[in-house]
Chain A
């Protein structure tokens, strides 16, 4: 099999997400790919990854992929099934190292829109679900990771139609000026093309690695804003056969998130 057919895009995203998470740290996990990636991290490099879910679950080792961050799968072999107030308060108080979410529209400072498309909040062209817990995760986590599966000029925009969840807002110092926790903010963005971080000085999106077979031109052509391209660009992590076995046989055998 060639590299292109050995795994699908969602598997590649999950594996790269899992590699960012660290052992003996905590992660506040959203639905879908972030859940798959966090479960994979626990089963590979981060066996002591402490997972929390917004509905109240803490420290589980899931036997089956949850459908929702509130269902009973989320506290399998967990240490607590508590409450949203508890989890959110602990996050606000500094107990969450990583936030991990999916997103659709982002600007160069990592501000996220999941609320509406259009320029008038009172009459949106398209109404989306809103913040859910995303604003909280993006406000309270020390470092927030996003998976944006479809990077395009419409996904990476100069200005999001609505800032649902905070990135670095208007740039360096923006979060602190607004009253958000000092030093917190978006940390990594994983798309179908590569893995990104944020430049220390400008707090702008910066390329870290390209997925196998992806070119720099593709990265540039699929963004409305200028992405910082450093001199050294790495190659993203390539899923191993063992990663794929765990993903397909242990985590998502029905293909609910990863597809078939």
Chain B
């Protein structure tokens, strides 16, 4: 195949398909075993300095926040972040100096809520490097190629643009149509975190609502930490197996963390904590503010239960639950 263009972006998380197969054959157990553990244990066991990591969910939705706070607490360093639809997750990890490289589909912004003061400050100073550009579908299909055990997948996005030129993709002449076609390299995160609605002790997990990228992400990550709103009996899974989005052999750790997506939304359970997100956006305008926030919500608490208390406890959580079900009106919040 004739290569028409080679992206200038750094290729991270790619493995030769035979190497990837061998790794899975050797390292991913098919044994049905209890994988429950604490947040602390899951992070110290499966997150290593320098890992290429990906977070499930989308923007401020269904994010494994408990794991991210623990990564900050354990002072992991030099992580390479899959900036897929990365919003609060990337902002807080970059601000905490845990991440020094990012492949970017969307980073350094909070969508409608505004840009990210902290992570933009750090990326513009050069302390955290953008190593490649891509798009949301571009990332999605890195996972797809990897879960299929393929070296790449062809696509018709990124073509003709600087996003493509600074990606890790290659453009070739399609041997069938004769037209230029983009090839997206497979992407295998060293570790991924996905927050789900319910899961058994083995890692069979159900997600309510849009799966976003998590069907593919769960299947391509080398190590997968599942955090769950609740652990359910295996019978619940086996009674309706068509509801399983992630089968157990993909999971390496199962951590029960009710409200584990806070301050992000958990669809059908609780709404965004806009006050908490706004507090972060206000404080993170200065490095001192970042320290203040981290001290209050991360280093100043021992575990996620204590964190939730600091965030407003039962009263706040009940409000967020009512808000999710439209029982409370939308309030305009100032993020400035």
A178 within 8 A of B: yes
CB A109 to nearest CB in B, in angstroms, measures: 11
Instruction: Convert A95-123 into 0s and 1s, putting 1 for each residue whose CB lies closer than 8 angstroms to a CB of B.
Output: 00000000000000001000100000101
Closest to A140 in B: B157
Q: Which of B235-243, B247-255, B288-296, B325-333 lies at the interface with chain A?
A: B325-333
User: Do A88 and B137 form a contact, CB below 8 Å, given A129-B107, A181-B156?
Assistant: yes
Classify the secondary structure of A's interface with B.
loop
Closest to A92 in B: B156
A188 within 8 A of B: no
Contacts of B215 on A, CB cut-off 8 Å?
83, 85
CB B59 to nearest CB in A, in angstroms, measures: 5
B42 within 8 A of A: no
How many contacts A-B (CB < 8 Å)?
205
Q: CB within 8 Å of A: which of B160-186?
A: 160-164, 166, 171, 174, 179-182
**Cβ B159 vs Cβ A129 within 8 A:** no
**Cβ B158 vs Cβ A139 within 8 A:** yes
**Cβ B109 vs Cβ A163 within 8 A:** no
CB A42 to nearest CB in B, in angstroms, measures: 18
Q: Which of A148-156, A203-211, A248-256 lies at the interface with chain B?
A: A248-256
Q: CB within 8 Å of A: which of B102-143?
A: 104-109, 111-113, 115, 120, 123-124, 126, 130, 133-138, 140-141
Q: Which of B20-28, B43-51, B204-212, B226-234 lies at the interface with chain A?
A: B204-212
Which of A164, A179, A180 is most buried by chain B, counting CB atoms within 10 A of its CB? A179
Inter-chain CA distance A65–B332, complex, in Å, is 12
Contacts of A175 on B, CB cut-off 8 Å?
160
**When the two chains form the complex, which single residue of B58, B126, B326 contacts A68, counting CB atoms closer than 8 Å?**
B58
B200 within 8 A of A: no
Contacts of A174 on B, CB cut-off 8 Å?
160
Binding site for B on A (CB under 8 A): 31-32, 54-57, 63-65, 67-72, 74-75, 81-85, 88, 92, 111, 115, 121, 123-136, 139-140, 162-166, 169, 174-175, 177-181, 253-257, 260
Q: 28 A–B contact pairs at CB < 8 A?
A: A55-B212, A65-B330, A67-B111, A75-B209, A82-B210, A84-B58, A84-B137, A84-B140, A84-B211, A92-B155, A115-B162, A115-B163, A121-B166, A127-B124, A128-B109, A131-B134, A131-B135, A131-B136, A132-B105, A133-B135, A134-B135, A136-B138, A139-B156, A166-B160, A169-B160, A179-B159, A179-B181, A253-B329
Binding site for A on B (CB under 8 A): 57-61, 83, 85, 104-109, 111-113, 115, 120, 123-124, 126, 130, 133-138, 140-141, 144, 155-164, 166, 171, 174, 179-182, 209-216, 265, 267-268, 272, 324, 326, 329-332
